[in-house]
Structures are given as C-alpha cells and as structure tokens.
C-alpha cells in the first residue's frame, strides 16, 4: 500500500507503481493527501485559468474565485489593467468581498473598514496607531496574464514562462475576439469526481458514440485511426474543403482535419497549451443541436462556415469556439472526489438575449455534453474507490491523449 | 490513551485494556481507524450475508451491495448459478451498475461499453488495440455461498470454511424454503451507531421489557434465569408442548424451550453461526402484533403452530422466521458511528399483496422492534463518545451473549 | 509550516511564531488539532459558563449541555443544590437524557432502566447480578459553582481557584438578582468561525461604528482614546453624573466611565474574570433600540437609570445587564471553524410576556448586535483560511483587549 490509514504517502513509490499505458493507481484518485499535493504542486505553481476579461469590463468591476483555499479577487484597475488580488484583509485576515462578482469603488473590508485601492494599495486604515507601515500592507497580488481575453493566474512567487503559450495561441484566438465578448451564461457544477478523472474524460472521444449523441453528429474526433472507413475519410475531406474556402476568406486556417483528437498535452515537449481550428461535419457551422448558427458572428468572422476553434491549457481549461459563440470550461479541485466546474458561454458583445440569441438554442449542445460527462466521471470515481479497482489498459487508438495527460500529470507532480 | 489525535492506534494495548465482563473501551466505538480494522480484518475476511437468492430468480437478475468501499453485483448466470462480481470495470474502474437491483442481458460498462457476460467474462471491448489479454480482464469475482436461499460473500482470497455452518444450519432452514420465497418488502436504515453496538443490542433482551412491548408478548427470551417465576416456567412448558405437537407433524423439533436467549456466538468453539427453533407465547403462531398468521404458510409447513426459526451469523445477519413469513436483518458498517441496516420481509412465492397478505399486518412487529432498537443504539453511541464514558459491567444473567459477542469480536479482530 | 497535512503539530514552535501585537498564525484558527488542544487544555481545565440557576428552580429540574464531546446534566437535587453530572449511564455508556431541559423524578437510563438519584447515586440496576459495587457506579460528577445565579462547570479533577472570581464579581452581580430571574428567551447559533475569532470580535469596538448602528447609540465604548473629542468627553461626563446620582440611591457605583472598553482579560495578573458598571448614553436607561425600559425593574433596582452591569469570564461568557433585563452569551467550540453560541435573555421572575414585556422590544438590541458579529466572524474565518493570510497588526488604541485575549489564550494553552 502506498497510502495507509494514517494518511502517510510514499509519493515516489506511488508514482513508480504506475504501469505504462494504464490508468493511475487508486490513491491518485481517492487519497486526500494526493489532492493536497495536486493543489500545492500543480494548482499553486502553474497558470490556472480563472475566467474572461470581458466579465470585468469597467474599472472596479471584479469577480472572485478560490484556487484551493485561496480566495482571489480579479479586478480591473483605474488604469484598465486587470489584477489578481488575494481577497484577504491585511489587518485581521477578513474576506473582503464574498459575492461572486460586482463593481467596487474601492475595496473596503467589512470588519474595520480598512480600504484598498483597486490596485490593492492600502488607502486608509482609520483607527490604527502611528507607525503602521501602510506600504507593506496592500492586498497581496498574484501574477495574472490576459491571453486574448482569457485570464490566467499563477500563485507562485516565480511563475513559469507564459510567453511561449501566448505566442502559440494568441494568433489562433485573436479572430474570436473574446476580449470584447459578452457573457451570455455561467453554469456551475459540483462534480463528485477527482479533477483528473474529469480531464481523462475530456481527453478521449472513445466514450462519445453512446454517451454524446448530439456531439458526434457535429464532429469527427470520435472517429479514430482504427475505425476510419473510406466514406468517413471522404466526409472529412469534403467538410474540410468547404471550411477551408471560408477560412481563407477570413484569413484563417484549418489546422486539424484528420479523424481523432489532436494530440494534447505533450509532456515530452513540456507542452501544457494548444489551440487548433477543426473541421465540423457536413451541415454544421456551429456546435449547436442542429448545426445552425444561433447568435451573431463573433469577432473577425465574416462567414459562419469557419469550423471550430479549440484550445486547452493544463491544468484546468478547455474552450470550444464556433463562429457565433464560445464555451469555456474551468476545473477547480475541491477534494479527492469533488471538482468544481464552471461552464461559460460567450457571445458577440452587442448580442441581446431574446433578440439576437436564445439560451435554449445556445446552451444545449455543451450543457448536455458536459452533464453527460460529469455523470460518467462520477461513475468512474465510484468504481475506482473499490478495493477491487485495478488500473486498466488505455486504448492506443482512442486513449492516447488520456495517457498523455497522465504522463503530463505525473511529471508536473514530481517536478 | 490508545488512540491519539494523529489517529495512531496501538491495537494490542487497546485490546489488552478491555476489562473482562465489561463493555469495550471507547476507541472501539468512536475511532475511525478501528472501523477500518473492522472492515479489513472482519468484513473482508469472513462470510458476510448480502441478501436472498430469491431476489434474483432468473438468469440476469442482479442486486448490488457494497461491503465497506467494495461495490458488488450479485447476479444469476445463464447456468443458474449465483455469482458475486466486483461492480468495477476492468478498463478504467467505472462502476458498471448503479441501481440497487435489476435484470441484465450482459453487464455493459456505461463509459466505453466494455461488455461482460453474466459470469463476469469479458465479451467485448470494442475500440481497444490488439494484444489485450481479454481472458485476464473479466470482472473480479468473490466467493459466494447459497445457504438455503441466504447468500454469503467472502472477499478474502482464501475464505474460511463454510461447510460446518452449512451442515449445522441447512437442515434447520430447509423447511422454511426461503430459496423459493418472495420478497414482500425491503426497508433500509442509516443508524447513527457503531455496528458493534447494534450487535450488542441484539444479543440481549434485558432492554426488552420497557422498550419492546410488542416483542415481549410473543416471546420468552426476555425472561432470564434470575427472574423466572414458577408461573413463567409453567407458561413456557405449556407453549412448548403445544408447539412440539405441531412440529412433530411437520418433522420439526423445538430446540430452544428455556427462558432467556440461546447462547451465541461461541468464541470458545469458533462458532459464528447458529440456528434454533423456539417456542412462542400462548396465543402466538407468528411474530405479529396479535400473534395471528398474516400470510400463507411458507415452505414445508402444514400447520401454523411451529414456533419460530431463528438463525444468525457473525459478523452481520440475523433472521426470525415464523410459519408465514421470514425477516432478515443485514448490517454493514459505514463509519465509526454509522451502520447501514437492511431489513427484509419474505413470504410464500405465490402470496399476493392485498389478496394474501397486507404489509400493515406483516411488517409492524419487526419494524417497530427494529426502530426501537436503532434509537437505543444511537443513544448509546452518543453517550459512549463522552470523555466520561467508562466501560461498565455486563449482567451475567442477561448479557452473557453481549459478552460472548465482544469476546468473539476481539478474537476475530486480532486473528 | 507548523502543521502539515499529517496533522502533526509543533505547538511550541507555533506559539513562538506569533508576532507580538499581531493576530495569531493561521493554524490556531484552522487546524483541527489546535481545537483539540483548546478543548483539552482550556475547556476541560477551566471554569466554563454553562447557564443560569434560574433555568432549574425546582428539585429535579435539569438542563443539558455538552462541553466538547462531554454531555452533562445540570440538575437541582432534593437538597436544593445544583449538580453537574455526566449524562452517561455507568452500565453501557448510554446517553440518559437527550432533551435540552426538563424535570426528572429520577434519572432513568432509557436502555436498561438503571436508575440514578438526582444527586447521581445509583438507586437501582434491576437485572444485574450480585456483587456489583453500586456505590462505585453513580453518575460521574463535575465541579460546579453558582455565582449569583451564573453556573460554571469545571471538568478537571482539580479545578482552578474560583474564590477570587467570586469575591470580585459577586458584590457587583448581586443587585441584579439573576438567581431569581426568569428566562425570557434562549436563541442558539451555529457560527462558522473559530471560537477565538468570536472572542476577538467581542474584545474590541473598532468594528462598531459601521456594523452596529444600534449599539453605538447606547454606549461609549466605541470611542477610544485616539478619537475622543471634547464634546464626547462632555457627553460621557453628563451621562455618568446622571447615572451616579441614581446609582447612589441604589447603593451602586459606576466603575467605568471612560471612553473605550474596560481592560479585559489581564493575562499579566492571571485575571480571567471581570465585572464593571458602565455609563449609558444620554436618553438610554436600558440597552434597547430606543433606550427605554422594556420590562419591570430587576433585582434591587428602584430606578431605571443605573447604567449597565457588564461581566465576562474566560473562556466562554459575557453578560450585559440593564435595569430591566440581562443578556448572557455562552460560547462552546465545535470544530476549528464552528462555534455553538447561546444567547439568553433574563427578566424579573414575575414579569409576564405580553403583559409586562414583549420579546419584540426586549430582544432586538442584542439579537442584532450578536448576529452582526457572527457574520463578521464568519467573514474572518473565510479569509484567514487562505494561504495568503498573514497575521496583521492590532490597533494599540482600539484592539488592546484583542491583544490581551490572544496573550491570555497562549498562556492558557501552554500552561
């Protein structure tokens, strides 16, 4: 046993015990000390997606988020810059803003009214004695990066490099113009599964055929190298040709036009980010139930038929963007068998609900796909908790990305 | 202290600290590491009652149960045999069936449709690469024994001997013919008490006089050697004589006709099972509120007046069977202060609710007795958690079986 | 780190790490092993306020309370004495009385009817064998002190001295005559904050200006040495003069007539108790919403204008008493981030609801103040749990008593 009832963990032995090409040993999914390590070594060290800059367009607009036990305020300053401040008063540690979002003139602690500027500087602490070093008592900041409207926070003192991710993804993301978008809807889920199971689910479409009837109509990634018949190949080529025509008009390029998923992550090259543009099935110009456009074109698009833009970053985000809307998914671990998941739908900034789009048409595709997946993840967690769980083999045809995720994870954990 | 806040437990010292004839030291009832040991050393090693074979009469019928964290499927195969399979897919550990019971053509994992035969063999795993050893990827089996319709599972690789239990109990159980019975009702309880307190409650009738007004009218086991007046002795003899007459007609024998409880368990002779036939009070032919028969005669009985058949097995089952119905109680530990209890009522296979029996007459006797007991167990748990709890003396007249249980338990735990 | 995920705590290092004049390091507020120590070393050793003797006026009257995991019965005996008995049967540890209060002829265990006198002596244990030493099987007692109607319990074998507290406080408390009072209302709260945060909140009025609009109208303690303008000084002197006139008639003395809080606790002189009589603001004769008297005069008072009597004892009680009612607050830790708080309103024994007082006028002042405080405490707990919490400086003008509390606590913990 790698983890006894005393909670003592021999991490090196546990990592060593993983069979190549197989799912992880049980403690990774059920042991509370592992989730502590996941938080300390991954979520506190890496770039964590927290939300969209378009949620906070005006100076003083803020939203809150907690990474593990660390509550943060993402707030736009008077200079227009977005900052990630720890939501913790420097006086006696009180949580400053409890709401999920809002607008703040200054940040005022409800307890004794210590007052902070929107950039975190301590503006006043009425009632304190002389000799207090106010300069040292601003709200503690975190690192934050705004990647074309996607906000990433790093809690580490020295964050890992972000520039390579920016360089690779910004040109892909730019035409979607999420920075100027409007949030149409946010749905929060409390999923009874380890965050790694949510990723493992996301990293293969082996489960799609039976579980995601709406998804497989729109996409090609459930076809894999082992089951691609000539007629499927023909369908993809036709679809890709159609998209490429439109994409060219928009100055875009289809970068993934094969069956199966694009490879991601890539632990062998330290690659925790990826973006690509993918062909949709015939008759689909958007990831919607019937494939039709359901909202005004976003960003730089002049035609609907541009495939989908997909991006994902370890350890906690993926996004699928169609011509008319973008959907981001954010994972935050909340225990060995709990993950808080937020799904966000973005549309054109001027689109008005009722007039330009309806939620009943905008949401079902990804709401269904998400909820179908959460249920599968919960089934997995329930079975893996058994004493009879044995790590099983990943399909080399269909689960290569699950294996890549597991290898990325083990490397990140032991770095 | 035997158990500090670090959860470290000196089991030998703890066992040593038990005073003979007294209730157990506190950690046995409140410490979460003890319940882990109870599961590992008792519930994972011994024969655990899980249910009745008549719950799954047809090939493909199944019910599920979890022993500790190990979910199982009890399923009848195409060959008519009942198997206990771990309810955990060999691919990525997904729980295969979530429902409490049902009928299954094959066992299909909801995630990627790995498909198992009803005997657990892997039938197909579409999408996997070549070279997978399918023979090694069947559902893991547990040992299972069917004792006249009572199903026992053992999770150990090498289960303890079952034949002596079968030999002793089968002839007693046979005339009730539970194997062919019908489940009239199942009620599940979540009792806020350690499983051992539920057993201690069951192993004496010292508490019956005040707490079980309906039970003591029907039975003699609340009378003990210290309080049996001549008129009580006379009543028992009269009742026993009456039953014996009928029993003889049915080829049965009254094996317990004294006041007080039959001795059980017997740790000195390693005896974890027992069955006996007991006299009921005058006017009672069934354990019902008014003593009358409330359903058709079961099994081989031709007359109602056959006393009650009682059997019990450590660590988790007791059953009282009257001429017309049988009631089984199953315990499963779910934490230091939680026990999941299932009570099941069985009747003749052809009996039809509304026509041949009514639940309002069938259930109250044991439903009341059970619920009265669960409340007492919860009061005990609440008091024993106090720093002022001191193990107290068991009455040698009335609590000899409680002491026997405690000794059986300590032996089983330290084996 | 002073406390790792294994729960191991280096207490000496943790205590050492506290910066003078600053709030406590995080583990004191969030670590479950610290709350165990708080219970063992403070709540099990010191005099803990449990309630009022007027709750149990007749022999047999009782109320129950749990200090940590130790359930107690406070019961008045046939001799009129109040005793604190462990609410745990000496037979098998069953909780004897589950209700919050009641009247008992004798204390009868619901399980096997072991019966105890109101003084805890075992009166009968029907069904036990001979040779049981009944004298040794009475309910275990705790130490109890009745201080002018306030009941204090000590679970330690050798309680600390109580006489100095009695000597200092009894003369101050006596005229209120709480011993003969009547309980008008009890409200229980489950506050999601460490008990020390509830004290820290109570030990300063720095937070009052914004958070307690009703409180600051009645009192002067939110003014502190740093912000007392001449007109405030004038107001206090006027109010004190008025009160002193009336107090003299009642044989009382205003002992605190400055701005700011009276100093308490005083760890340098081992002082865990204090009482004083304080001036109320102009127009206020009672701590009510509009300052008017809302119930008949209590105790020895012949005039309303007597200021307020205030007392408090570490580790868990404060009381504010006006001419017409008294309000006691009791804290009991229930986990690192949970405190059970009871607030009790007392009035004249003959006062009748509806005729002599109305709860809607009696309660709001302290109900509002209390609930405003619990919310602040919960905000504090939420922020302090962050990895970004850093102990902050206490205002020497306004938070001297918070610092005094923290120093008292650290000393009590390490004694």
Q: Which chains would you list as touching B if contact means 3+ CB atom pairs under 8 Å?
A: A, C
pLDDT the model gives residue B8: 66
Of the two residues B242 and A74, the one the predictor is more confident about is A74
**Lowest mean pLDDT, pick from B245-254, C24-33, C113-122:** B245-254
What is the tens place of the pLDDT at every residue in C44-57? 999 999 999 999 99
Distance from the Cα of C42 to chain B's closest Cα (Å) equals 15
Mean pLDDT of chain B: 94
CB contact under 8 A, A127 and C392: no
List the single residue in B with minimal CA-CA distance to C92: B392
Interface confidence, given as ipTM, is 0.94
Cβ-Cβ contacts under 8 Å between B and C: the total is: 94
Residue A224: list chain B partners with CB under 8 A.
127
pLDDT the model gives residue B226: 67
List the single residue in A with minimal CA-CA distance to C225: A127
pLDDT the model gives residue C4: 44
pLDDT the model gives residue C369: 98
Instruction: Flag whether pLDDT at A269 surpasses 60.
Output: yes
Distance from the Cα of A163 to chain C's closest Cα (Å) equals 26
Written as six digits, the tokens of C200 are: 């820290």
Average pLDDT (B335-353) is 98
Q: How far is CA B78 from CA A239, B65, B72, in A?
A: 48, 21, 18
Q: How confident is the model at residue C415 (pLDDT cuts 50, 70, 90)?
A: confident
CB contact under 8 A, C392 and A137: yes
What is the tens place of the pLDDT at every residue in C97-111? 999 999 999 999 999
What is the tens place of the pLDDT at every residue in A249-266? 878 888 887 778 888 999
Instruction: Among B93, B95, B141, pick the best mutation site for testing chain A contact (most A Cβ within 10 A).
Output: B93
Find the CB nearest A376 among B88, B111, B128.
B111
Other Cβ atoms less than 10 A from the Cβ of B163: the count is 8
Instruction: Flag whether pLDDT at A7 surpasses 60.
Output: no
Q: Where are the alpha helices (DSSP H) in A108-227?
A: 163-173, 195-202, 208-211, 213-218
What DSSP character marks residue B121? -
SS3 A337: coil
Instruction: Among B67, B94, B335, pick the best mutation site for testing chain A contact (most A Cβ within 10 A).
Output: B94
What is the tens place of the pLDDT at every residue in C340-364? 999 999 999 999 999 999 999 999 9
CB contact under 8 A, C87 and B386: yes
Mean pLDDT of chain C: 94
Q: How confident is the model at residue B222 (pLDDT cuts 50, 70, 90)?
A: confident
Tell me the C-alpha distance between C221 and C205, whole Å: 6
A111-143 as b/e: b if 16+ CB within 10 A: bbbbbbbbbbebeebebbeeebeeeebbbbebb
Share of chain A above pLDDT 70, in %: 97
Instruction: Flag whether pLDDT at B147 surpasses 50.
Output: yes
Q: How many helices (H) and strands (E) does chain A have?
A: 11, 16
Q: How confident is the model at residue A6 (pLDDT cuts 50, 70, 90)?
A: very low
Written as six digits, the tokens of C240 are: 């004190």
Instruction: Flag whether pLDDT at B204 surpasses 70.
Output: yes
Q: What are phi and psi of A97, to 5 degrees?
A: -125, 125
Residue B383: list chain C partners with CB under 8 A.
71, 87-89, 93-96
List the single residue in A with minimal CA-CA distance to B132: A393
Q: What is the pTM of this model?
A: 0.94
SS3 A113: coil
pLDDT the model gives residue A199: 98
Average pLDDT (B284-307) is 96
Other Cβ atoms less than 10 A from the Cβ of B356: the count is 15
What is the tens place of the pLDDT at every residue in C212-243? 999 999 988 888 766 678 888 888 888 888 88
Which residues of chain A are at the C interface, by a Cβ-Cβ cutoff of 8 Å?
6-8, 32-33, 36, 44, 68-71, 86-96, 98, 110-113, 127-129, 132, 137, 140, 155
Share of chain A above pLDDT 90, in %: 85
Instruction: Flag whether pLDDT at B345 surpasses 70.
Output: yes
List the single residue in C with minimal CA-CA distance to B209: C112
| Residues in chain C, total | 415
Distance from the Cα of A331 to chain C's closest Cα (Å) equals 19
Tell me the C-alpha distance between C201 and C216, whole Å: 15
pLDDT the model gives residue C8: 66
Instruction: Flag whether pLDDT at B122 surpasses 60.
Output: yes
What is the tens place of the pLDDT at every residue in B10-25? 999 999 999 999 999 9
Instruction: Flag whether pLDDT at A248 surpasses 90.
Output: no
Find the CB nearest C128 among B380, B389, B395.
B395
Find the CB nearest C386 among A6, A70, A137.
A70
pLDDT the model gives residue A78: 97
CB contact under 8 A, A89 and C383: yes
pLDDT the model gives residue C396: 94
CA-closest candidate to residue A357, choices A383, A328, A322: A322
pLDDT the model gives residue C226: 67
Distance from the Cα of A352 to chain C's closest Cα (Å) equals 37
Residue whose structure tokens are 């893991």:
B140
CA-closest candidate to residue C278, choices C219, C229, C205: C219
List the single residue in B with minimal CA-CA distance to A23: B92
Q: Where are the alpha helices (DSSP H) in A108-254?
A: 163-173, 195-202, 208-211, 213-218, 230-249
Q: How confident is the model at residue B242 (pLDDT cuts 50, 70, 90)?
A: confident
Average pLDDT (B212-224) is 88
């Amino acid at each position: 046993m790698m983890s006894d009832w005393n909670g003592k963990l021999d991490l090196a032995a546990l990592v060593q015990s993983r069979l190549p090409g197989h799912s992880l040993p049980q403690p990774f999914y059920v042991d509370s000390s592992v989730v502590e390590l996941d938080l300390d070594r991954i979520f506190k060290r890496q770039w964590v997606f927290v939300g969209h800059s378009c949620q906070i367009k005006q100076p003083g607009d803020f939203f809150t988020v907690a990474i593990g036990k660390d509550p943060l305020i993402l707030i736009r300053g008077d200079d227009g810059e977005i900052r990630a401040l720890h939501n913790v008063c420097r006086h006696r540690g009180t949580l400053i803003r409890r709401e999920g979002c809002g607008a703040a003139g200054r940040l005022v602690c409800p307890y004794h009214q210590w007052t902070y500027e929107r950039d975190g500087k301590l503006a006043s602490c009425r009632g304190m004695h002389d000799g207090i070093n106010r300069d040292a008592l601003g709200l503690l900041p975190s690192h934050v990066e705004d990647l074309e409207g996607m906000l990433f926070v790093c809690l580490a003192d020295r964050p890992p490099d972000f520039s390579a991710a920016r360089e690779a993804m910004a040109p892909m993301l730019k035409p979607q113009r999420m920075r100027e978008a409007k949030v149409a809807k946010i749905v929060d889920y409390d999923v009874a599964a380890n965050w790694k199971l949510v990723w493992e689910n996301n990293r293969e479409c082996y489960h799609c055929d039976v579980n995601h009837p709406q998804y497989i109509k729109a996409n090609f990634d459930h076809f894999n190298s082992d089951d691609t018949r000539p007629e499927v190949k023909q369908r993809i080529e036709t679809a890709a040709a159609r998209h490429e025509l439109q994409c060219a008009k928009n100055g875009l390029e289809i970068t993934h036009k094969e069956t199966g998923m694009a490879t991601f992550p890539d632990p062998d090259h330290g690659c925790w980010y990826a973006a690509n543009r993918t062909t949709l099935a015939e008759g689909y110009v958007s990831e919607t139930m019937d494939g039709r456009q359901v909202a005004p074109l976003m960003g730089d698009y002049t035609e609907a038929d541009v495939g989908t833009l997909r991006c994902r970053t370890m350890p906690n985000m993926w996004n699928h963007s169609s011509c008319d809307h973008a959907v981001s998914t954010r994972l935050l671990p909340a225990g060995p068998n709990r993950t808080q998941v937020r799904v966000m739908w973005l549309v054109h900034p001027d689109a008005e609900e009722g007039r330009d789009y309806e939620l009943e048409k905008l949401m079902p595709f990804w709401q269904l796909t998400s909820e179908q997946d959460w249920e599968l993840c919960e089934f997995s967690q329930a079975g893996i908790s058994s004493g009879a769980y044995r790590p099983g083999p990943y399909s080399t045809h269909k689960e290569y990305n699950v294996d890549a995720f597991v290898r990325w994870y083990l490397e990140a954990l032991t770095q």
